[in-house]
């Protein structure tokens, strides 16, 4: 796994290399997209409509992709048939109003989606082979209390090892697949400051797990109470950056 900018910069004089980016339209992966561009890659974004209880994030991302003239592909899969998560099953509630201490107990929260990153990365591997791309970026973050097992460095390293044994490109054509995780050790505030430097428009990103539709507002509002809203809000405060999110 290569994460520093120096190591992954494409060689000069060559045509711009493409990189696959797992993009949800959220704060982390939208910052990631700007980082990928800064590092000299031409991003190809993969968006997943995976049977989320709400698709506000994907819709925001689709609009943003068109505005940015970003190469992107929307993968349609149905993880709600599998369930097991507050994000895909109506039978499991999204936690609200949790204190930071409650989030940092080390236990995995109900918003964890079984094998989601493994499924997403597997699709990116198929696309990487077909597009002859060696670099895959994912905006996982091991800090900020997410507690998701598939956001940790040891998981990503193991996926990368597996990927290089799985593919035609790596086993026959000598392409080494790298899973890049530049955000993995960053706090939310650091990510936001990095994104602001790169000109990310956070008003066009969506993080809330439980959007609120009201008759008064044309667009849904963020709940302000789910773990994702709480961490996002805290991140803007700590970064000293004005939070463009419209909370209910």
Nearest approach in angstroms of CB 25 to its own copies is 20
Nearest approach in angstroms of CB 8 to its own copies is 22
One-letter-per-residue 3-state SS of 85-102: CCCCCCCCCCCECCCHHH
217 in Cβ contact with 169 (< 8 Å): no
Residue closer to its own copies by CB (options 56, 79) is 79
Contacts of 247 (CB under 8 A, 6+ apart): 221, 222, 223, 224, 229, 233
Length of the chain: 248
| 3-state helix, strand and coil shares in percent for the chain, rounded to the nearest 5 | 40, 10, 50
In angstroms, rounded to a whole number, what is the distance separating the alpha carbons of residues 23 and 205?
11
* Given 98, 122, 189, 241, the residue binding its own copies (CB under 8 A): 122
Binding mask 144-183 for its own copies (x = CB under 8 A): -----xx-x-xx--xx-xxx-xxxx-xxx-----------
Nearest approach in angstroms of CB 169 to its own copies is 8
Interface size with its own copies, residues (CB under 8 A): 45
Nearest approach in angstroms of CB 94 to its own copies is 17
C-beta atoms surrounding 191 within 10 Å = 25
In angstroms, rounded to a whole number, what is the distance separating the alpha carbons of residues 180 and 1?
6
Q: Does 112 bind its own copies (CB under 8 A)?
A: yes
Nearest approach in angstroms of CB 79 to its own copies is 7
Residue closer to its own copies by CB (options 7, 78) is 78
Site for its own copies in 3-32 (CB under 8 A): none
* Given 22, 60, 119, 192, the residue binding its own copies (CB under 8 A): 119
Site for its own copies in 81-100 (CB under 8 A): 81-84
128 exposed, middle or buried (CB, 10 Å; 0-12, 13-18, 19+)? Answer: buried
Counting DSSP H helices and E strands in the chain, the numbers are 9, 5
* Stretch of residues binding its own copies (CB under 8 A), selected from 2-10, 79-87, 137-145, 209-217: 79-87
Catalog residues that contact its own copies under the rule CB under 8 A: 73, 75-79, 81-84, 107-108, 112-119, 121-123, 125-127, 129-130, 149-150, 152, 154-155, 158-159, 161-163, 165-168, 170-172
């Amino acid at each position: 796994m290569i994460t520093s900018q120096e190591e992954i910069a494409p060689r000069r004089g060559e045509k711009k290399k493409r990189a696959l980016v797992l993009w949800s339209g959220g704060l982390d992966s939208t910052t990631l997209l700007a980082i990928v561009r800064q590092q000299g890659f031409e991003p190809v974004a993969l968006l997943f409509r995976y049977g989320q209880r709400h698709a506000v994030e994907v819709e925001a991302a689709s609009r943003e992709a068109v505005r940015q003239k970003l190469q992107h592909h929307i993968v349609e899969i149905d993880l709600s048939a599998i369930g097991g998560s507050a994000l895909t099953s109506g039978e499991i509630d999204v936690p609200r109003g949790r204190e930071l201490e409650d989030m940092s107990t080390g236990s995995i929260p109900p918003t964890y989606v079984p094998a989601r990153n493994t499924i997403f990365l597997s699709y990116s591997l198929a696309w990487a082979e077909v597009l002859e791309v060696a670099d895959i970026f994912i905006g996982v973050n091991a800090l900020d209390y997410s507690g998701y097992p598939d956001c940790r460095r040891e998981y990503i390293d193991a996926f990368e090892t597996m990927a290089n044994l799985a593919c035609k490109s790596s086993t026959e054509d000598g392409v080494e697949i790298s899973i890049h995780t530049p955000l993995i050790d960053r706090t939310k505030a650091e990510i936001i400051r990095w994104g602001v430097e790169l000109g990310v428009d956070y008003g066009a990103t969506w993080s809330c797990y439980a959007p609120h539709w009201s008759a008064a507002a044309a667009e849904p509002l963020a709940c302000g109470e789910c773990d994702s809203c709480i961490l996002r809000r805290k991140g803007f405060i700590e970064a000293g950056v004005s939070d463009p999110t419209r909370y209910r």
